């Protein structure tokens, strides 16, 4: 198989994996103990095996994350999670997130905040999120001790969203979804191959 044909095959495979097949990765840093990082994502059609998770705890290098899943249309809380390190490789003991066997088409929010900044079961993201530390004066993570945990923890967070149509996070230092970056690389390689063939 020629390089051109191999690249074309890989590109077609990357672009034809379905409406809910993209993987997105976002990273950044928290400033304070009551910061909340929100990732918005869309499921274009009813989906199976959608995953949203953190892998930044790194066995205590960074803060212990609490995650929550919200309906972005109504603001209703869907679920909240403290520890779920069995979603994907790279997670360690206190990492968190959700493995969703089924998820209806729609818009969702995934929040990450330090332990124990929980929300009540009747929380609404837009009208009354109710994060436990929301009313407290922000304390830099380097000066704060998590309950039942450690002090002077790292501020890094890392969020993955898999099996969805699109995702955004305005706080992230990683601006491009993985699947789009790979597709862009494939397109660039095809263009380069075509250009070099004309020159020959």
pLDDT digits over 89-124, tens only? 999 999 999 999 999 999 999 999 999 999 999 999
| 42-52 burial code (b ≥16 CB/10 A, e <16) | bbeeebeebbb
| Full residue range of the structural domain in which residue 139 is found | 22-183
Q: Is residue 48 in some structural domain?
A: yes
Pinpoint the alpha helices (H) of the chain. 3-15, 178-199
Tell me the β-bridge partners of 43.
106
Mean pLDDT value across residues 162-188: 69
Q: Is residue 14 in some structural domain?
A: no
CB atoms within 10 A of CB 17: 13
Is pTM beyond 0.85? Reply is: no
Q: Is residue 8 in some structural domain?
A: no
Estimate to the nearest angstrom the gap between the alpha carbon of 43 and the chain centroid. 14
Q: Is residue 3 in some structural domain?
A: no
Q: Is residue 44 in some structural domain?
A: yes
- Between residues 149 and 10, which one has the greater pLDDT? 149
How far apart CA 122 and CA 76 sit, in angstroms, is 8
What CATH number corresponds to the domain at position 50? Answer: 2.60.120.380
147 and 77 Cβ atoms separated by less than 8 Å: no
Over 70: is that where the pLDDT of 12 sits? no
Q: Is residue 200 in some structural domain?
A: no
Q: Is residue 11 in some structural domain?
A: no
- Distance between terminal CA atoms of the chain? 20
**What is the count of structural domains for the chain?**
1
Q: Is residue 27 in some structural domain?
A: yes
């Amino acid at each position: 198989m020629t390089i051109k044909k191999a690249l074309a095959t890989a590109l077609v495979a990357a672009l034809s994996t379905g409406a809910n097949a993209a993987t997105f990765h976002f990273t950044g840093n928290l400033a304070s103990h009551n910061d909340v990082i929100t990732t918005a994502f869309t499921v274009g059609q009813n989906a199976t095996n959608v995953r949203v998770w953190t892998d930044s705890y790194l066995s205590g290098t960074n803060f212990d994350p609490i995650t929550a899943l919200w309906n972005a249309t109504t603001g209703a809380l869907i679920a909240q999670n403290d520890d779920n390190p069995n979603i994907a490789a790279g997670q360690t003991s206190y990492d968190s997130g959700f493995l969703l066997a089924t998820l209806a088409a729609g818009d969702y929010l995934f929040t990450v905040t330090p332990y124990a900044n929980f929300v009540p079961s009747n929380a609404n993201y837009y009208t009354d999120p109710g994060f436990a530390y929301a009313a407290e004066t922000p304390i830099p993570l380097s000066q704060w001790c998590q309950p039942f945990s450690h002090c002077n923890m790292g501020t890094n967070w890392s969020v993955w969203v898999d099996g969805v149509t699109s995702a955004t996070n305005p706080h992230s230092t990683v601006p491009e979804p993985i699947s789009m970056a790979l597709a862009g690389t494939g397109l660039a390689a095809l263009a380069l191959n075509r250009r070099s063939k004309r020159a020959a």
